[in-house]
Chain A
Amino acid sequence: MSRRGLWIGLSLAVVTAVLLFVLAKGFGRDPHAVPFQLRGKPAPDFTLRRLDTGAPVRLSDLKGKPIVLNFWASWCAPCKMEHPVVTMAARRYGQEYQFFGVVFEDTEENARAFAGNPDPSFPQLIDERSRMAVDYGVTGVPETYFIDAQGILRDKVAFPIDPRTMMDKLAALKQPAGPLSEVVR
């Protein structure tokens, strides 16, 4: 092969390899999936009002027990399917974990009608103008965040959570931080 032919072949091979690499990176992930950037970082503090009593709830006062934050709205159909899963988990594991619902972009009347007033299973919090949701990087509902007893955000589920995933995530919350917190969804 001539020197010129060798250069052309090499250049084509490099361009093809780069293109394949870029395409593999692009097709290998869901373009709509928003990365969870806060994993392993302290959960942003918040003070929200309870839907039932109006009493303030402050995250920094809750350390010592793992926390589950479930963002939902009455207008969100998947939230309706998911709500019984969170309710059951709160009833069953409420002694070991603190469960909170966070009402996202909804009216209090609609939220009360959805969750019941008071919701006997777990407290619902009102996030005025979704300030706290943006602090947590919420992209829609339902989303569920898992905070360990030290106040570190350990995981997030951005789809209607099922009982198995809920149990896996709860179990991982009690494990030391590390690879165990990355339980498969």
Chain B
Amino acid sequence: MTAWVLGLVLASYAPQQAGSALLDPPREARVQALGKQLRCPMCQGLSIADSGSSAARAQMDKVRELVAAGKSDQEIRDYFTSRYGEWALLEPPAAGMNLLVWLLPVLLLVGGGVAIARTMRRPVSAAPSPAAEPEEKLPPSDDPYLEAVRAELRQ
């Protein structure tokens, strides 16, 4: 039974292959930097450089192959976006609809700052005290206690 369960579990995973041979240090640094910018298609918010999945390894191989072929960083990003769309980029470019994501927080910060500055500059008007309020003309009362209180308040 244990062997059967173990077999089922092991059969559910892709056999791991090692990545392709590393390039020289400067070019390999480029490969890793580009890999950090590209989204792993099988993972949740991980880059292909950080993921251990087989699909990410295959994509890192492709990045390495394109770097070795002398492609520029932009050409390599274009290769992936032409296949996976902008979805492939962990940091989408600030253009089109994406621009909103970049601009809205800045606009809200500026708007909030302006609102706070205007509120701070406005002179604070003294709260009207009850004594300053115009005296209300009240009809005279027959109750001596009430009249006494009113007289007290008028002083």
Contacts and interface: CB of A to CB of B under 8 A. Distances in A.
Interface of A: 11, 15, 18, 22, 25, 34-35, 37-38, 73-75, 77, 105-107, 110, 129-131, 133-140
A11 B62 CA distance: 48
Nearest to A22: B100
Contacts of B85: 34-35, 37
Contacts of A15: 108
B102 interface: no
B95 interface: no
Interface of B: 11-15, 17, 20, 41-42, 54-55, 58-59, 61-62, 65, 81-85, 87, 97, 100-101, 104, 108, 111
Contacts of B20: 129
21 contacts: A15-B108, A34-B84, A34-B87, A37-B81, A37-B83, A37-B84, A37-B85, A38-B82, A75-B11, A77-B12, A105-B17, A129-B20, A130-B54, A130-B58, A131-B65, A135-B83, A137-B83, A139-B41, A139-B55, A139-B84, A140-B55
A138 B55 contact: yes
Given A18-B104, A38-B83, A139-B42, A75 B55 contact: no
A25 B96 CA distance: 13
Contacts of A106: 14-15
Contacts of A75: 11-15
Contact of A110 (B15, B42, B100, B108): B15
A102 to B, nearest CB: 13
A39 to B, nearest CB: 11
B61 A129 contact: yes
Contacts of B97: 25
B83 A134 contact: yes
Contacts of B15: 75, 105-107, 110
Given A38-B83, A107-B15, 16 more contacts: A15-B108, A37-B84, A75-B13, A75-B14, A105-B14, A105-B15, A105-B54, A106-B14, A129-B58, A130-B55, A130-B61, A131-B58, A131-B61, A135-B83, A136-B83, A137-B84
